[in-house]
Structure 1
Amino acid sequence: MGGSVETTERGFSKYGFVFLLIAVISCILTTPTRAAPIDDQFQAWLQTDLWPEAKSKGISKKTFDAAFTGVKPNLKLPDLVMPGETPTTPEKQHQAEFGPPANYFAEKIIRAVTTGGRTRESANARVLGLIEKRYGVPGDIVLAIWGRETGFGAAKMPYDAFEVLGTKAFMSTKKDFFRTEVLAALEIVERGLAPVNAMKSSWAGALGQPQFMPTSFLKHAVDFDGDGRPDIWNSTPDVLASIANYLVHYGWVRGRGWGTEVTVPTNVSCSLEGPDQGKTISDWVAMGIRRVDNRAFQASELKAEGFLLMPAGRSGPAFIVTPNFYVIKQYNNSDLYGLFIGHAADRIAKGDATFVDSWGAVGDLHRSDIAALQRALEAKGYDVGSADGLPGFKTRRSIGVWQSKNGKPATCFPDAALVSQLK
């Protein structure tokens, strides 16, 4: 018996070793090769993917190498997706609260723009006069945008534009968008419009004091000081004229303002809001809408088109805005941004008057709650724009229509009770 056991043990050891060896080899063969370091992947992408397209668009190897020598992907930038991974919605964005519109107009923030704007209006009066004469855009509007975007140039541009744009073109959630932008940035350098070392940007890749993306720079940047190139990093005349030129490109109407605060009678539905529901100013007046300062609309305005704007529905100020308001929104597609610029411009020109109507206590919902409400309205056939958790005008007026159809007072703004009813 002892011999039998010995033979069995030796036999197990012999064949067990063979099986173990086969298992190890199999494991090695079936385990994926470890991915190359991200820096190496980035460099390979630059040379085998981005460079061929850049070359086809007339970019020289000298320019390309100057832009990307020493550049590595910046993994601290937002909205990145590691190669091979699937994009996910960040939890903090999903659960972030939608702040009350009133927060956007905090006095400390808007006063910095208006006070700084008045100082610079005086210092740059001649240039602003020439810009308004050429482009038709009031200096107060240009100053308000300049102040809002970069604090009149005080905000630092700490990033290398090619690091930001290259990283995002390689691995962001919007690769195609940033690929176009990084190619445009290369064109800026190739054409001698700016040297590589001047290409400083924000974390989003926006350039200079007006915060232009590279494609916008190529379309709108202006050499207004006459030195031969548009310098939106250091030249105040170029910065101001470039902002005005941008607005003109998107349809700024010479001779009209942006809008004015009004009172809206209760019998006028807040669901009439939006740039696709314009009426002549005289029609709005016939419905009972009045300026809050009790002044009559100018006769020249009465035949012109205006639009109802109620950023907080019935829980905040209301406005009749002109097409120029929507031109301002081309700079930043937000009703609150457009209103901030218009309001700040008025204060630069006329003094620090606040809105007459006050902002209500709204905006205490999570963006995920608002997105759920938007999806519920979409399921009922309403056009809310997109279920992004932000109550834009399409969402606001859809809420108002739904409320009216269901026998409720139309507020045109989301609240917790409404979310519960519709979810």
Structure 2
Amino acid sequence: MAGRPEGGAPERGLRQFCLAFLLAALAFLFLSTPASAAKIDDQFRAWLQNDLWPQAKSQGISKTTFDAAFDGIKPNLKLPDLVKPGEKATTPRKQHQAEFGSPGAYFAEKTVRAVTAGGRAREATNARTLASIEKRYGVPGEVLLAIWGRETGFGAAKVPYDAFEVLGTKAFMSTRKDFFRTELLAALEIVERGLAPVGAMKSSWAGALGQPQFMPTSFLKHAVDFDGDGRADIWNSTPDVLASIANYLVHYGWVKGRGWGFEVTVPESVSCSLEGPDQGKKISQWADMGIKRVGGKPFPASELKAEGFLLMPAGRSGPAFVATPNFYVLKQYNTSD
């Protein structure tokens, strides 16, 4: 009968989905059974001593630091993207990192509104600190507040995991073992150098540290002791958190004196195909094409000869922007496309 499926692709697709779901569930159950977990624990301890420790030692990590970091640590089998020892890693169907998400979600009105309100509430409280950081690094306070709010809700989001548990598990049995091995060794270096004690090394489920959500390699490069207490404390010190974010942005090319961009209206005559980081034009050229700032203000005279990029993250159905190169520095912090 017309309009009624009689087997075929839809039903096959449903069966395939159910089979994939069942296999994933069975894999999780296998990893979670006591016997299997005990075996993996033993393999993990052997890997620590026979594989990781020799490399850590060669990189200057003491046995005292190594043993303290992994004291009582077992693989966390509830973390995503794990691969049973001996099996081949495959790219998971669902990616968990923010960089695999939709850019439209990053600009979701509810999210933006919450970050904006939180930033305004903290701007006055931290005005002196923000001014000092901007003077040193050239990054405006509102940018730092936006990143802080977006990453951990201005420090309100819990960062509850033991970094050595997360990084150790993922370096041992994840789909990106080499990446996490590098980060695990960097975490050991943080402790070895006295930059943070083992007990302070709290992370997200992905191993990102503290309120700015720095991976350990980023901590070593960019964490700043801005409050002058002798320690770059990105878990508890607001000045250190904000200055560390600024230092990161400067490292990746933040241009002093420029913002990140302007919200604009784009006429129908301008094609969406003109957007993207490889199609920059002088902002005066965008203006000549009929692109205007939301609210009617002209583009600043200082920006007209500078390069800008059309950004339409949700196509014509969402907001549009003329972004400066600083926008792509921000993307380096938290890539979202």
**Range into which the TM-score falls when normalised by the shorter chain:** 0.7 to 0.9
Correspondence for 2:71 among 69, 74, 88: 69
What is the aligned counterpart of 2:270 among 256, 268, 284? 268
Matched residues in 2 for 1:169 and 1:195: separation?
Answer: 21
The Cα RMSD (Å) is 2.1
Q: Any conservation in 1 of the 2:91–2:175 contact (CA below 8 Å)?
A: no
Note closer, same or farther for the CA distance 1:318–1:115 as it changes in structure 2 (3 Å cut).
Answer: closer
CA offsets 1:157-177 (integer angstroms, 9 cap, x no match): 111000000000000000010
Q: Does the C-alpha gap of structure 1 residues 174 and 233 become closer, same or farther in structure 2, counting only changes over 3 Å? A: same
Deviation track 1:281-318 (CA, whole Å, cap 9, x = no partner) reads 11112222222222211111110000010112222222
C-alpha contact 2:284 2:305 (8 A) present in aligned 1: yes
What stretches of structure 2 of length at least 5 have no aligned partner?
1-35
1:326-365 alignment runs, 5 A limit: 326-334=328-336
The residue number in structure 2 matching 1:136 is: 138
> Which consecutive residues of structure 1, in runs of 5 or more, have no partner in the other structure?
1-33, 335-391, 393-423
Corresponding residue number in structure 2 for 1:59: 61
Partner of 2:287: 285
2:260 is matched with 258
Q: Does 1:46 align with 2:48?
A: yes
Give the partner amino acid of 2:247: N
Distance 1:202 1:164, change over 3 A: same
Moved more, 34-43 or 238-247: 34-43
Partner of 1:215: 217
Alpha-carbon deviation of 1:156?
Answer: 1.4
- What is the match of residue 227 of structure 1? 229
**Aligned amino acid, residue 229 of structure 1:** R
* 2:11 aligned residue: none
How far apart in 2 are the matches of 1:219 and 1:62?
A: 24
Equivalent AA in structure 2 for residue 55 of structure 1: K
SS at match of 1:211: coil
Which of 110, 114, 117 is the aligned partner of 1:115? 117
Rg bigger for which structure? 1
CA distance in 1, matches of 2:40, 2:94: 25
Distance change (3 Å), C-alpha of 1:100 and 1:245: closer
- Per-residue deviation, 1:219: 0.4
Residue by residue over 1:124-176, the C-alpha shift from the partner in whole angstroms, topping out at 9 and shown as x without a partner, is 11111100100010111101111111111111111100000000000000001
Q: Which residue of 2 aligns with 1:399?
A: none
Secondary structure of the residue that 1:147 maps to in structure 2? helix
| Shift in CA distance, 176/99, structure 1 to aligned 2, threshold 3 Å | closer
Residue 304 of structure 2 is matched in structure 1 by 302
The separation in 2 between residues aligned to 1:99 and 1:54, in whole angstroms, is: 34
Compared CA separation, residues 225 and 87, structure 1 to 2 (3 A)? same
Show the counterpart of 2:170: 168
Write out aligned runs for 1:189-200 (5 A).
Answer: 189-200=191-202
1:251 CA displacement: 0.7
Structure 2 distance, partners of 1:133, 1:286, is: 34
CA distances 1:364-411 after superposition (whole Å, capped 9, x unpaired): xxxxxxxxxxxxxxxxxxxxxxxxxxxx5xxxxxxxxxxxxxxxxxxx
Read off the aligned partner of 1:157 and give its amino acid letter.
V
Residue in 2 that maps onto 1:182: 184
Q: What amino acid does structure 1 have at the position aligned with 2:131?
A: G
Shift of 1:267: 2.4
CA distance in 2, matches of 1:148, 1:100: 15
Deviation at 1:110?
2.8
Equivalent residue of 2:332, what SS? coil
The answer as to whether partners of 2:131 and 2:141 remain within 8 angstroms in 1 is yes
Distance across 1 between alignment mates of 2:57 and 2:101: 46
Instruction: Determine helix, strand or coil for the equivalent of 1:293.
Output: coil
1:87 match: 89
Task: Give distance in 2, aligned partners of 1:183 and 1:93.
Answer: 24
Is 1:325 matched up with 2:321? no
Q: 2:250 aligned with 1:248, yes or no?
A: yes
> Structure 1: how far apart are the matches of 2:156 and 2:319?
31
Alignment partner of 1:319: what SS? strand
Distance 1:131 1:301 in 2: 23
| Partner AA of 1:82 in structure 2 | K
Flag the 1:324–1:93 CA change in 2: closer, same or farther, 3 A. Answer: closer
- Aligned-pair identity in percent equals 83
Change (3 A) 1:178 1:117: same
* 1:289–1:48 Cα change, 3 Å: same
SS in 1 for 2:225: coil
- How far did 1:278 drift? 0.6
Equivalents in 1 of 2:85, 2:254: separation in Å?
42
**Range 53-62 or range 149-158, more displaced:** 149-158
1:241/1:93 CA distance change after superposition, 3 Å:
closer
Shift in CA distance, 128/281, structure 1 to aligned 2, threshold 3 Å: same
Q: Would you say how many aligned residue pairs link Structure 1 and Structure 2?
A: 299
Cα distance in 2 for partners of 1:254, 1:211 equals 23
CA contact (8 A) 2:191 2:197 kept: yes
- C-alpha displacement of 1:103: 5.1
SS where residue 333 of structure 2 aligns? coil
**Quick one: distance in 2 between partners of 1:138 and 1:99?**
27
